Structure 1
Amino acid sequence: MSALVLQNKALWHIFEDFTVSILLNTCFLIYAIRNQFSKISNELSAHMTKINGILTAEIKKNKTRNVSITAEIERLLTDVYKKLSTEVNTKIANELSTRLFEVNSTLMFGIEYIRIYLSSSSNSSPSSSGSSDLSQKFANIISVIWEQFTDIFDRIKSANDYSLDQMCAIVSVDILSRLEMGVIGKDTIKGFYHGENISSKNLEKIGAWIDHYYLYH
């Protein structure tokens, strides 16, 4: 057998051994890659499961928090509505009571006026003495109103150290703004305070102011 043939056979054996080694190494490498990929995949899946659990718990927590916040807002709105309703109802009741009291005072004044007139008309014929009796009865009514007015007037004036003009202005503004019974000048009020006669319309305003004071004090 020639040296060339022997050399070829030796090379072939080396090639065969090398090919088997390459195949074995390739198989091992593929196996290692598959194992590593499987490990990474499992770890990634575990992390995804963990993240999903955290997100799910957080969503539930937020839902619970949102329900709690919604309930708190509804409770606050309900409380505000109840307070506003109470305040409005109280204000309406007070305003209605004031108006009714003022109307009642005016009516009582008018009724007393008619009663005195009818009593005078039925018990006596028109004469100077009848007119004198009627005038005296009206004078008595005005005297009572004047006494009540000056008593309240002086009490408020002294308690707040007001001057006479200041107190007259306060009464005038009260009758115009608070009682909404129209204008009455402070000079008219000052004159009545000093005992001067005033018109029946202004006397009604003074009477309403007195009634309003007694209602709230």
Structure 2
Amino acid sequence: MCSVTYVIRQQLIAKLNTHMKRLTVYLTSQDATIVIKKQKILTMINTVIETINEITTNYESLHDQLNQITEMSSVASLISEQFADPSISTFNFSQRSSGSSLGSSNDTSQLSFSNITSTTRNHFKILFDKIMIDNNYSLDDMCNMMSVEIHSLGMGKIGKETIKNFYYNNGDFRGSTLNKIGAWIDSKNNFNLANNTE
């Protein structure tokens, strides 16, 4: 009977050892899985931090550009001056834009005719994108809002598609369209200047 007990005991010890080995292998693999998951989480956190830093840098850059726009003389007044006065001939305009500065006597920048549109578009896109992002508007919502605001400025109607085409630089634009967009830029710049002085 003693030998039977000994055999049973040895069998139980062997089974226990087998289970212990399996458990050890399982726990070791679980530890490795946990380490891998921790590394993935840390990588994700680092990616999020890098993205936040990039967004912060982009925001600061856009903020600086917006401040420069509000400090610059009005683009719309340049456009209005060129397109509103029919007595300015093409010759005079091209002579002025290539030979002398536009605007006040303190203005040292020189603009050519083609730069007026691109300058307006650049200022427009910076301001447009900032408002769209700050208010979480879609492009269509922003174009609709801008159309209503231009109409409320007394500048007449401008279609959402015209604004969208100007945003994407699709097509040539008449002076009246540039005047409307310039007036909208002015209204936003004047609003920002009024808020900054308070």
Higher relative contact order (CA 8 A, sep 6+): 2
TM-score by length of 1: 0.42
What TM-score do you get using the length of structure 2 for normalisation? Answer: 0.45
